[in-house]
């Protein structure tokens, strides 16, 4: 899986809106991403095609990274007239996460992956990136809401130390479904960081290198 994380850029916005619409319809209301780019109390990360040239899939891996990106590239190019085969076509975006910083909390407001690319570890990569950014920002804990029926997402969050701390009744307007409120223990503690390092090593073993461009250094970390 040849995927990297970086900050949202203006040229990504059309694709991110498409992913947002797909993931959150019929509740979908467009986030003002362009305005939010300058919000110092928010962080928007995208999972995109890695910068370095990818190797073609081997016979043992016919559904490798090239297949993954061929599925998203069509959607990306469709958003830009005349971009088919054009060197100026947008970098394919597979998913995104938005985080708001509120006091000592980092709050995940949205995390979404293109439906055709789910099951490739992209959502987990976005979660890893948001936790790294929260630690760098100085947040003490990370919080989020998730549908009570979304057991897959809840299991992922539990894996990263999120715990059920309450509920928001009738939180989702489409069906009046409750939301589970989940939060971590202190993310800068040695106990949490030890667990987080182990989880990243496990992720690396399963999915490959974690490429993450830091906001402050501009360098790749793994």
**d(Cα 77, Cα 61) in Å, to the nearest integer?**
25
Listed in order, strand segments (DSSP E) in 173-210 are: 177-183
Three-state DSSP state, 204: helix
Catalytic residue, candidates 18, 36, 105, 145: 145
Catalytic residue, candidates 44, 96, 101, 157: 157
Order of strands across the sheet with 211-213? Answer: 163-172, 177-183, 141-147, 105-113, 93-102, 42-49, 3-7, 211-213, 220-221
Is 109 in contact with 99 (CB distance < 8 Å)?
yes
**Which of 122, 190, 218 is closest to 130 using CA atoms?**
122
**Which of 144, 76, 75 is closest to 106 using CA atoms?**
144
Token pair for 190: 């040695």
The answer to whether residue 160 is catalytic is: no
The answer to whether residue 157 is catalytic is: yes
**Which of 53, 39, 29, 52 is closest to 8 using CA atoms?**
39
> For residue 131, how far is the Cα from the chain centroid?
11
**Positions marked catalytic:** 145, 157
């Amino acid at each position: 899986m040849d995927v990297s994380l970086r900050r949202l850029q203006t040229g990504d916005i059309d694709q991110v809106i498409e992913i947002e619409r797909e993931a959150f319809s019929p509740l979908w209301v467009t986030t003002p991403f362009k305005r939010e780019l300058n919000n110092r109390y928010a962080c928007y990360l995208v999972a995109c095609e890695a910068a370095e040239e990818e190797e073609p899939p081997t016979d043992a891996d016919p559904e490798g990274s090239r297949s993954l990106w061929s599925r998203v590239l069509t959607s990306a190019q469709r958003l830009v007239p005349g971009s088919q085969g054009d060197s100026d076509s947008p970098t394919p975006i597979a998913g995104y996460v938005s985080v708001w910083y509120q006091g000592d909390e980092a709050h995940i407001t949205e995390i979404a992956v293109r439906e055709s690319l789910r099951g490739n570890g992209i959502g987990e990569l976005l979660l890893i990136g948001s936790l790294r950014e929260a630690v760098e920002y100085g947040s003490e804990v990370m919080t989020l809401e998730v549908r009570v029926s979304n057991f897959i997402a809840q299991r992922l969050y539990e894996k990263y130390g999120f715990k059920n701390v309450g509920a928001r009744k009738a939180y989702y307007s489409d069906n009046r479904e409750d939301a589970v409120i989940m939060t971590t223990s202190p993310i800068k503690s040695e106990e949490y960081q030890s667990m987080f390092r182990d989880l990243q090593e496990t992720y690396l073993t399963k999915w490959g290198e974690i490429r993450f461009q830091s906001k402050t250094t501009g360098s790749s970390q793994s």
